[in-house]
Chain A
Amino acid sequence: KAGVTQTPRYLIKTRGQQVTLSCSPISGHRSVSWYQQTPGQGLQFLFEYFSETQRNKGNFPGRFSGRQFSNSRSEMNVSTLELGDSALYLCASSPGTGAVGTDTQYFGPGTRLTVL
């Protein structure tokens, strides 16, 4: 099976712009989670989507949003970019059909976002 894919892999934006990142999960997986990784804060959960519905949300401002399509592909959007949004954004997919909390999440290669 192909793994989780994320596009683009690298992105450079300027403050105030918005950005959309894309994630295609492993075939058959219905849950997609997004994480932000920075040297200072480590890996932090953004949100999880399952069957086109946001199932969980982390402690991030409303500038961070996402959605999931019927084919389980997901996008996340960051509006009004700030310098502090520079990070590696990771998408993880899981089957989503097991007992809640037991799913194994498989990470994509990430999108490296730099905000200038």
Chain B
Amino acid sequence: QKEVEQNSGPLSVPEGAIASLNCTYSDRGSQSFFWYRQYSGKSPELIMSIYSNGDKEDGRFTAQLNKASQYVSLLIRDSQPSDSATYLCAVVRAGNMLTFGGGTRLMVKP
């Protein structure tokens, strides 16, 4: 079992729809959770961080964390073609070491 798992996609949604990206992790001791966006040929850029159970909203993005079920999700409201990218879920298990999932490719169609 991989430490951090994501559906590789592609996840295709129409413009204006809600995109839902999911991530599960195996280590119950995981402390912090991050979502990064990576455009093709570019480096990852941070979208959201979440540390406590529940929802955290930032503009069109909402991160959801459920430690009991060991999953974290990212919702993107009013999806735009510019949101088309690979979304990486990252989990901190020890120190500041990020463990990444394989990423979900999102395609937003006009």
Q: Show the binding face of A for B, using Cβ within 8 Å.
A: 31, 33, 35, 42-45, 48, 55-56, 58, 88, 90, 92, 94, 96, 100-110
Contacts and interface: CB of A to CB of B under 8 A. Distances in A.
A104 B46 contact: yes
B1 interface: no
A6 to B, nearest CB: 9
Interface of A is mostly: strand
Contact of B95 (A44, A48, A108): A48
Interface of B: 31-32, 34, 36, 42-46, 49, 51, 88, 90, 92, 94-103
Contacts, number: 63
B88 A101 contact: no
A33 B43 contact: no
A26 B55 CA distance: 29
Smallest CB-CB A-B distances: 8 pairs: A101-B31, A43-B100, A56-B95, A107-B43, A101-B92, A56-B97, A42-B102, A45-B97
B72 to A, nearest CB: 15
Contact of A102 (B31, B43, B45): B31
A107 to B, nearest CB: 4
